[in-house]
């Protein structure tokens, strides 16, 4: 029989929630975790989109995983196998003049040289520059942001690790980071490259999962966020053998081993407060659970506005919460295929990688223009992989799966409502684009399934379908993420904490949000 009183209650079964629950239980706390869906894992989960065909719900690969999570939870290499393919990304060209990104930069340079000798000559310097600039962010990603409203000695001490990159790179390095962060992607690229394809490919890194075009200010910040642990392998992508769902599966086992009680199909409908402090939660089935500490893996809208309610929000808090920009604009489209797809200029043994369709910076900006005027992109940025190659169990009878992320597909449309017909139009349009790159693609399709931001809001409780739980923009970064009043994983309610991607350092399957929060509340 489940008790109704715990040291910690964790809301949500996503990656950060599982990490937080496991780490707290490891410290001999009693912990219970509630997930409204039947399965855990959130954006790292998988699902069956057609009979006998499974796919990664949101993320097909990871960029980096916080090494502190692996260390603290004692996750071994034989438990979590990371696939580091030699070719980790291919930028597709209609004429077959693709750019192959290799872990060996000499091979990447050789590929770039086929379209631009000048760009190839600059590649090493560019990757070194990005690695240097991102080194200033690495220490920031492992600390609680300072309380900008009242910086004290504790906050100053927490920032001491910033001295290392400053000492390493000197005042020139400081100037580089201060100059680079506010840039739009074309400003950065103008200083380095001329090839439209290379510029388009790199610019796509700056708008990854954003509802902004490459000409938007500070898209370089998001580019650095995507590449913070890439080293010189710009736009790196790592697959998890068995699918991204293996990561939450491992975390679930660790959590249970430490004693965490996990309740699926258990929707929290209210965070109960008394005299300005949380004392528990109410479930949809009427059950009450009590705790002196509540942790939410949900975004700010769901946590504070929906679960706390207006009666527990100060006016200034409500104003800040209302100003958070979510603006999900990435859809996921999955295709069940009869046979392994063929791509002109790419060998079969090179297909286990990430492919991108972003021919130029202007291509991306025009795709974004359509969203600005209330429609979806007719020529979207597309990133896809053949997920059945990494995860053969995803498909049956030697069939295959192509999973694609599509930008830009907005949360809301101007003067229109989302419908099955519009979704079919998108599928048809994207299929037509892929037909230009993948030989006989449309005739190879068995079935397809599209999830738009509106669907992700419904299934994952992501406000406006935002994968980052709030856009990765300069005004929603560090001590302003998610708001100035709640940037230290705390809320205005003293014993209510948040570890979702809405907090510093933002979105992705890395777990830094959770471990930073644990370090903050248990110090």
Domain boundary residue among 451, 481, 512?
A: 451
Distance CA(364)–CA(520), nearest Å, equals: 39
Distance CA(484)–CA(102), nearest Å, equals: 40
What is the C-alpha end-to-end distance of the chain, expressed in Å?
32
One-character DSSP codes across 361-374: HHHHHHHHHHHHTT
Do 138 and 15 sit in the same domain of this protein? no
Q: What values do phi and psi take at 335, rounded to 5?
A: -120, 130
Residue range(s) defining the domain that contains residue 263: 5-45+245-325+473-521
Q: What's the token pair of residue 322?
A: 């209302």
Q: Which helix (H) or strand (E) holds 21?
A: helix 15-26
Do 208 and 140 sit in the same domain of this protein? yes
| Residue 461 domain flag | no
Predicted local distance difference test score (pLDDT) of residue 443: 98
Predicted local distance difference test score (pLDDT) of residue 276: 87
Do 184 and 89 sit in the same domain of this protein? yes
Could you tell me the CA-to-CA distances from 506 to 53, 225, 269 in Å, in that order?
A: 31, 9, 25
The DSSP bridge partners found for residue 401 are 336
Do 260 and 236 sit in the same domain of this protein? no
Predicted local distance difference test score (pLDDT) of residue 178: 84
Given a contact cutoff of 8 angstroms between Cβ atoms, the answer to whether 296 and 498 are in contact is yes
Distance CA(103)–CA(238), nearest Å, equals: 11
Distance CA(272)–CA(505), nearest Å, equals: 28
Closest CA to 422 of 378, 372, 368: 378
Query: Could you give the angle at which helices 361-372 and 196-206 cross, rounded to 10 degrees?
Result: 40
- Which conformational region is residue 465 in: left (phi greater than 0), alpha (psi within -120 to 50 degrees), or beta? left
Tally of CA atoms within 13 A in the half-sphere of 181 that contains its CB: 18
Distance CA(520)–CA(498), nearest Å, equals: 11
Distance CA(432)–CA(335), nearest Å, equals: 13
Tally of CA atoms within 13 A in the half-sphere of 267 that contains its CB: 10
Do 354 and 367 sit in the same domain of this protein? yes
CATH number at residue 508: 3.50.50.60
| Residue 287 domain flag | yes
Rg over alpha carbons for the chain, rounded to the nearest Å, is 23
Do 60 and 116 sit in the same domain of this protein? yes
| Residue 18 domain flag | yes
Predicted local distance difference test score (pLDDT) of residue 486: 86
Distance CA(242)–CA(244), nearest Å, equals: 7
Distance CA(176)–CA(179), nearest Å, equals: 5
Predicted local distance difference test score (pLDDT) of residue 133: 92
DSSP three-state, residue 50: strand
Given a contact cutoff of 8 angstroms between Cβ atoms, the answer to whether 59 and 45 are in contact is no
DSSP three-state, residue 495: coil
Do 383 and 235 sit in the same domain of this protein? yes
| Residue 206 domain flag | yes
One-character DSSP codes across 343-401: ETTB-GGG-SSEEEE---HHHHHHHHHHHHTTS--SS-EEEEE-HHHH-GGGSSTT-EE
Do 434 and 394 sit in the same domain of this protein? yes
Do 178 and 103 sit in the same domain of this protein? yes
One-character DSSP codes across 95-113: TS-PEEEESSHHHHHHHHH
Q: What's the token pair of residue 470?
A: 């709030």
| Residue 468 domain flag | no
DSSP three-state, residue 424: helix
Q: What's the token pair of residue 208?
A: 């990854």
Do 318 and 377 sit in the same domain of this protein? no
Number of domains in the chain: 2
| Residue 36 domain flag | yes
Predicted local distance difference test score (pLDDT) of residue 147: 75
* Per-residue pLDDT tens digits of the chain, which is 523 residues long: 457 999 999 999 999 999 999 999 999 999 999 999 999 999 999 999 999 999 999 999 999 999 999 999 999 989 999 999 999 999 999 999 999 999 999 999 999 999 999 999 999 999 999 999 998 889 889 999 887 666 655 555 555 565 566 656 666 667 888 899 999 999 999 999 999 999 999 999 999 999 999 999 999 999 999 999 999 999 999 999 989 999 999 999 999 999 999 999 999 999 999 988 999 999 999 999 999 999 999 999 999 999 999 899 988 899 999 999 999 999 999 999 999 999 999 999 999 999 999 999 999 999 999 999 999 999 999 999 999 999 999 998 899 999 999 999 999 999 899 999 999 999 999 999 999 999 999 999 999 999 999 999 999 999 999 999 999 999 999 889 999 888 899 999 989 999 999 999 999 999 999 999 999 998 8
Strand pairing report for 445-451 and 330-337: antiparallel
Predicted local distance difference test score (pLDDT) of residue 156: 54
Do 255 and 111 sit in the same domain of this protein? no
Q: Which helix (H) or strand (E) holds 239?
A: strand 239-240
| Residue 434 domain flag | yes
Do 106 and 171 sit in the same domain of this protein? yes
| Residue 216 domain flag | yes
């Amino acid at each position: 029989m489940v008790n109704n009183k715990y040291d910690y209650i964790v809301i949500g079964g996503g990656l950060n929630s599982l990490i937080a629950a496991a780490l707290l239980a490891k410290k001999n706390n009693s912990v219970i975790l509630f997930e409204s869906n039947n399965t855990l894992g959130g954006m790292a989960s998988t699902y069956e989109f057609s009979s006998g065909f499974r796919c990664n719900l949101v993320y097909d690969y990871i960029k980096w995983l916080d090494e502190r999570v692996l260390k603290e939870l004692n996750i071994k290499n034989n438990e979590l196998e990371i696939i580091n393919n030699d070719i980790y990304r291919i930028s597709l060209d209609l004429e077959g003049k693709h750019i192959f990104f290799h872990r060996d930069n000499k091979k990447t340079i050789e590929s770039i040289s086929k379209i631009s000798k000048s760009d190839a000559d600059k590649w090493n310097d560019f990757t070194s520059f990005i690695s240097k600039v991102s080194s200033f962010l690495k220490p920031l990603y492992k600390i609680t942001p300072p309380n900008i409203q009242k910086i004290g000695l504790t906050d100053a001490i927490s920032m001491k690790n910033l001295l290392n990159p400053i000492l390493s790179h000197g005042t020139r390095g400081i100037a580089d980071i201060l100059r680079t962060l506010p840039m739009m992607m074309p400003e950065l690229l103008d200083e380095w490259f001329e090839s439209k394809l290379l510029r388009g490919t790199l610019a796509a890194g700056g708008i990854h999962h954003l509802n902004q075009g490459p000409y938007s200010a500070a898209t370089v910040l998001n580019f650095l966020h995507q590449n913070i642990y890439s080293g010189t392998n710009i736009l790196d992508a790592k697959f998890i053998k068995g699918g991204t769902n293996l990561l939450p599966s491992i975390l679930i086992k660790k959590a249970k081993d430490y004693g965490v009680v996990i309740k699926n199909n258990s929707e929290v409908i209210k965070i109960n407060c008394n005299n300005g402090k949380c004392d528990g939660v109410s479930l949809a089935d009427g059950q009450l659970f009590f705790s002196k500490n509540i942790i939410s893996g949900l975004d700010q809208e769901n946590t504070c506005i929906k679960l706390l309610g207006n009666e527990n929000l100060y006016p200034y808090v409500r104003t800040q919460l209302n100003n958070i920009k979510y603006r999900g604009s990435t859809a996921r489209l999955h295709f069940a295929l009869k046979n392994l797809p063929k791509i002109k200029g790419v060998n079969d043994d090179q297909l286990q990688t990430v492919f991108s369709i972003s021919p130029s910076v202007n291509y991306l900006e025009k795709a974004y223009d359509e969203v600005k005027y209330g429609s979806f992109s007719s020529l979207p940025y597309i990133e896809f992989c053949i997920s059945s190659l990494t995860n053969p169990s995803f498909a049956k009878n030697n069939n295959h799966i192509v999973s694609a992320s599509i930008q830009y597909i907005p949360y809301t449309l101007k003067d229109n409502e989302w419908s099955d017909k519009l979704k079919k139009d998108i599928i048809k349009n994207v299929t037509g684009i892929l037909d230009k790159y993948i030989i006989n693609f449309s005739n190879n399709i068995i079935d397809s399934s599209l999830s738009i931001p509106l669907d992700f809001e419904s299934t994952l409780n992501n406000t406006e379908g935002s994968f980052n739980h709030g856009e990765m923009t300069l005004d929603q970064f560090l001590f302003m993420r998610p708001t100035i009043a709640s940037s230290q994983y705390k809320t205005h309610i003293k014993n209510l904490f948040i570890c979702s991607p809405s907090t510093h350092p933002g979105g992705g399957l890395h777990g830094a949000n959770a471990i930073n929060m644990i370090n903050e509340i248990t110090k």
